[in-house]
Chains A and B, each alone.
Chain A
């Protein structure tokens, strides 16, 4: 009788040497107490080794589905058909399939189970040429592959990529800013005016890379990078610059830095595109609701999409504003109304009065989208689109209600004011005609008398003087 024994390193076919011992099922275990004894009762006839984990995975997934894969078929045909002996198998169903497909007689009984136990306990000794460490490694690899196969693991749905990508994006931005500031400062020593003329960082670096030393500006062609007036300004400034001269080596180093900056900028745009793609693949509904960046930041903040899905809607609303939240809770003040969700486009396009309301509504619908993406089977964004449309409609009604509120509520509109006729007659005011200071021509009686006295006295004095 032959025995088919499957291991993680390959198929083993044993031949039972002493069939009489099989009659005593209960004492069969004694035969497998030591490797030497075991070798006397069964002998390894053929060992079909798997080349790698992939082959082992294919073999055992076929076995699990109740089929025989090509490798096993080949082995069985070669060995068992020639021997014309019945084959003992551990699984009755497998035996049935083998009988059907290859027309070999299979046995499955308690005796076979005992035999399998014995072989398993002496596995190391019975299969020479397989090191225990190799067996252990294959076993571990195969277990992980089989589990992944069972869980229908798909490599695109790994959200670790998103968490890492968004962290890298932030890191790149910081580094880029540092390098650009350093570049400006360094080159500003040589040509400070360029920094003031060109405000965009990437253009500055490209310009620098093209030209280098101040002397070359006159002959350089900067038309692709800069508009004409700016180019003219730059060239003019280069003539009358107050920066110092620098040597070739120094310019060389500055140019190296510039090249680095440009490379990192390009990588950053590429990384952003990659992030957008991944977000669409992993969480399409969330992307539709809040956008890629905000969605990625939410996932990164929670740690994983599954963790994010476990949060309540109110938590998602203030995720990212924890410091403000706990400070407000401790001092019993008003808690913040929005966290990371503030940067979503829906919240950004509302007036400040309604941002809180919209943030709450958006958080509620976003949480539904998150759970749909985390636990749902299909990956379509129909649900997200629908919810977003609902939110936008609600946003519009909110704004309309707001406009009416400026002129009073509905009730106030209905209440009409009592009509009172005020007759107003407007006359022309001549006080605006002349710019001289106005004094009224009608003077008061006491003033007039006093003034006449003064004038008479002066007149008398004057007369006396004249005479004398």
Chain B
């Protein structure tokens, strides 16, 4: 954990520690092993891919490729995670330190859309965890509900995330808030939800699109102003990472909410 807050810009080289380099022969996709983040894996082959373990084997959510790896007697199915479509995958491949979404965690996902990234988060948290997926659009909501029918650890909420009190009866305290809402007042939205649902010491992962907040200012200035807004709301940012080469002028900020006071020895 880095002390204080240090932004990491783009061009950050690939981090070491991407599991063991299996290096199986080309052609057949070999399994490279686990990623530093729990619940995320790497599939080695002609092209390496980030994969998650499929909670519902045999089904593809948005037409992504699936890989079946034999482990002893049974086959485990993994689904490929596309970093161009999912900001969380782009952040992981960019080398983010901690995503805080791990097996058994309770996640509040704001801006769930049709559920492509939500399905991968659901794979990571597994059957013990929960994903509360909030989406306001009706079209995407329909796809989200269909997804939630198949995966019982996803709870669909078709409400405006600006008013968390409207869905207060559905959600218990969560460990992580992931926000991908693309709204100019997204920090306020996340803050409201954090005040209502995020436990003390819980973490937040926010994806910021610079164009969305202010299209005239430069991306760096926008990110800095968002970070400042967060600090005013009792949310302490810990990492910032831009999503090059997958997205332009996008950044992901990870932080902690109401950290427990440090015991001074």
Interface residues of chain A, those whose CB is within 8 Å of chain B, are: 6-8, 29, 60, 64, 90-91, 113, 116-117, 120-121, 123, 136, 139-140, 142-144, 146-148, 150-151
B122, chain A: closest CB distance, angstroms: 13
Q: Report the minimal beta-carbon distance from A37 to chain B, rounded to whole angstroms.
A: 14
How distant is A54 from chain B, measured CB to nearest CB, in Å?
A: 15
Cross-chain contact B141 with A151 (CB below 8 angstroms): yes
The answer to whether residues A147 and B172 also contact, given A64-B166, A117-B196 and a CB cut-off of 8 A, is no
Docked Cα-Cα span, A6 to B168, in Å, equals 8
* Besides the known contacts A121-B199, A143-B156, 17 further A-B residue pairs in the complex with CB atoms under 8 A apart: A6-B169, A8-B169, A90-B168, A91-B166, A116-B196, A117-B196, A120-B196, A123-B172, A139-B155, A139-B170, A143-B157, A144-B156, A146-B157, A146-B158, A147-B141, A147-B157, A150-B141
**Can you list 7 A-B pairs, Cβ within 8 angstroms, ordered by A?**
A113-B195, A116-B168, A117-B196, A143-B148, A144-B149, A148-B145, A150-B159
Nearest residue in A to B258 (C-beta to C-beta)?
A: A29
Closest to B143 in A: A306
Q: Contact check, B166 vs A146: say whether CB atoms are below 8 A apart.
A: no
Q: Is the CB of A120 within 8 A of B197?
A: yes
B159 in contact with A143 (CB, 8 Å): no
Residues of the B chain whose Cβ atoms lie less than 8 Å from the Cβ of A64: 166
Q: A110 → chain B, closest Cβ, in Å?
A: 9
Contacts of B170 in A (CB 8 A): 8, 139, 142-143, 146
Nearest-neighbour CB distance to chain A for B164, whole angstroms, equals 9
CB distance from B67 to the nearest CB of A (A): 24
Closest 8 pairs (CB-CB, A-B): A150-B158, A6-B169, A147-B158, A143-B155, A121-B173, A91-B165, A147-B156, A143-B170
Which chain B residue shows the least CB distance to A375? B139
Complex Cα distance A147/B143, Å? 12
- Residue of B149, B165, B169, B200 contacting most chain A CB atoms (<10 Å): B169
Contacts of A7 in B (CB 8 A): 169
Q: How long is the Cα–Cα vector from A140 to B152 in the complex, in angstroms?
A: 8
Q: How far is the CA of A64 from the CA of B173 in the complex (A)?
A: 21
- The reply to whether the CB of B85 lies closer than 8 angstroms to some CB of chain A is no
Which of A120, A139, A143 counts the most chain B CB atoms within 10 A?
A143
CA distance A136 to B169 in the complex (A): 12
Query: Which residue of chain B is the closest to A7 with respect to CB atoms?
Result: B169
Which residue in chain B gives the minimum CB-CB distance to A89? B165
Interface residues of B in 138-178 (CB under 8 A from A): 138, 141-142, 144-145, 148-149, 152, 155-159, 165-166, 168-170, 172-173
